[in-house]
Amino acid sequence: MNSHSFVDPRQTTPLLADEVVRLTDVHRRFRETVALDGISLSVRKGEIIGIIGRSGAGKSTLIRCLNGLERPDSGEIAIEGTRIDRLTESQLQPLRRRIGMIFQHFNLLSAKTVEANVALPLKIEGLAKAERLARAREMLDLVGLSDKAAAYPAQLSGGQKQRVGIARALAARPALLLSDEATSALDPETTRSILSLLKEINHKLGLTIILITHEMDVVRSIADRVAVIDAGRIVETGPVQSIFANPEAPITRRLLEGSRPRLPEHLVDRLRSDASRLVLGVDVSGDYAQRQLFTDLVDAFRQGANLVQGGVEHIQDRPMARIFLTLPAQDASLVEQVKFRLAAANARVEVLNHV
Ligand SMILES: Nc1ncnc2c1ncn2[C@@H]1O[C@H](COP(=O)(O)OP(=O)(O)OP(=O)(O)O)[C@@H](O)[C@H]1O
């Protein structure tokens, strides 16, 4: 039997409906360092999941286990129902084609044209030249770079290079796209255009995407679900809106702080030195954020509350408000009234005594 196509039936694991990836209690350590400490995660077809964590949390190790570059010490990893954690290198080859990857530094071959870069995985797969070129052109069209087929990577901007990276990753029609900090080297505007391209491709092709990132903004703009990883464990997971509206783990809160609207420094200084005012940070999501929030606060504004800063944004089409209020610190009944109303609307209220 050809070892390339051989997959031991004992290594296939029953698939849940629409499940593309399943990790079960995955452990990996490097000498004394525990990189993955019992990761279990299931990813459904068509889902975009963001895996976020600080530096050293275990993200790269996780992605390397997913594409078979790293072997877990224990636990199971299944892609489309096939256990990959015990396969040999040659058994892994056909399965790797089911996984496309994009990288922070694009990893394009500088001596090859854009078209040849995109066609390369198909050459490795053994497709005929005409078919390779046709597929490369189709992919370049998908990422909006048809006119750059004959260009070399050095002639492209960072955003264009990443589009080529995406076209190359999708050329073999993978079931799963792994994105490893793919926008970390790009400016904010280019980041937005790459993220919206990924979202568009996800819609158009029903492609499953796992985004590894340390930036909550990336997760917020396109992911359906987020898994927060810290010290090799998933400490919190759920739909993006609920994690943003109600982060529970301290590390999630810290990661969120970097991406949530903050008070400007000069206001922080002024409010810190003003003991007569209590400063509240309020987060609230859903229709309430758009409709009822300010009506509920009208009385408080009449009694001396001030809106210092804030507004409404949309995460996965769900409105989320983050506002900063100050209240007269002495007026205990007003403070209670405001807190009560906001709590009744499921708002998260923080007293920022030391903003
Ligand atoms: N090959 C290795 N040898 C020794 N230790 C390793 C190796 N790979 C990872 N580690 C350690 O495992 C832990 C997790 O590392 P990993 O690279 O997976 O984290 P990360 O979340 O991707 O971090 P970053 O965002 O900085 O890339 C770290 O403490 C790291 O030092």
Fill in the amino acid letter for 233: R
Quote the percentage of the chain above a pLDDT of 70.
94
Return the CATH class of domain 9-247. Answer: alpha beta
Binned at pLDDT 50, 70 and 90, residue 166 comes out as: very high
Structure token digits, residue 103: 């990288």
The whole-number pLDDT of residue 14 equals: 62
CA 286 to centroid of ligand 1, rounded, Å: 38
Could you tell me the pTM of the whole model? 0.81
Task: Give the model confidence (pLDDT) of 33-59 as tens digits.
Answer: 999 999 999 999 999 999 999 989 999
Packed helices 129-142 and 114-125: angle between N→C axes, nearest 10 degrees: 130
3-state SS class at 322:
strand
Task: Give the model confidence (pLDDT) of 310-352 as tens digits.
Answer: 988 887 777 888 899 999 989 999 999 999 999 888 888 888 8
- Given a cut of 50, whether residue 5 has pLDDT beyond it is no
- Given a cut of 70, whether residue 128 has pLDDT beyond it is yes
Structure token digits, residue 60: 């790269």
In sequence order, what are the residues at sequence separation of 6 or more whose Cβ sits closer than 8 angstroms to the Cβ of residue 13? 22, 76, 78, 81, 82, 83
> What is the residue with the minimal CA distance to atom 26 of ligand 1?
55
In sequence order, what are the residues at sequence separation of 6 or more whose Cβ sits closer than 8 angstroms to the Cβ of residue 128? none
The whole-number pLDDT of residue 2 equals: 40
CA 60 to centroid of ligand 1, rounded, Å: 7
Q: Which 8-state DSSP code applies to residue 146?
A: G
CB 167 within 8 A of CB 140: yes
Task: Give the model confidence (pLDDT) of 49-103 as tens digits.
Answer: 999 999 899 999 999 999 999 999 999 999 999 999 989 888 998 888 899 999 9
User: 9-247 and 265-351 share one CATH topology?
Assistant: no
CATH fourth-level superfamily of 265-351: ACT domain (3.30.70.260)
How many CA atoms within 13 Å lie on the side-chain side of 291?
5
CB 183 within 8 A of CB 147: no
With b meaning 16 or more CB within 10 Å and e meaning fewer, what string describes 324-340? bbbbeeebeebbebbbe
In sequence order, what are the residues at sequence separation of 6 or more whose Cβ sits closer than 8 angstroms to the Cβ of residue 262? none
Quote the percentage of the chain above a pLDDT of 90.
64
The whole-number pLDDT of residue 3 equals: 40
CA 137 to centroid of ligand 1, rounded, Å: 37
The whole-number pLDDT of residue 232 equals: 97
Q: Do the strands 225-230 and 48-52 form a parallel or antiparallel pair, or are they unpaired?
A: parallel
Q: Where do the domains of the chain lie?
A: 9-247, 265-351
Q: Do the strands 48-52 and 208-213 form a parallel or antiparallel pair, or are they unpaired?
A: parallel
Residue ranges lining ligand 1, Cβ < 6 Å: 30, 33, 35, 53, 55-61, 214
User: Which of 22-31, 219-228, 256-265 is the least confident region?
Assistant: 256-265
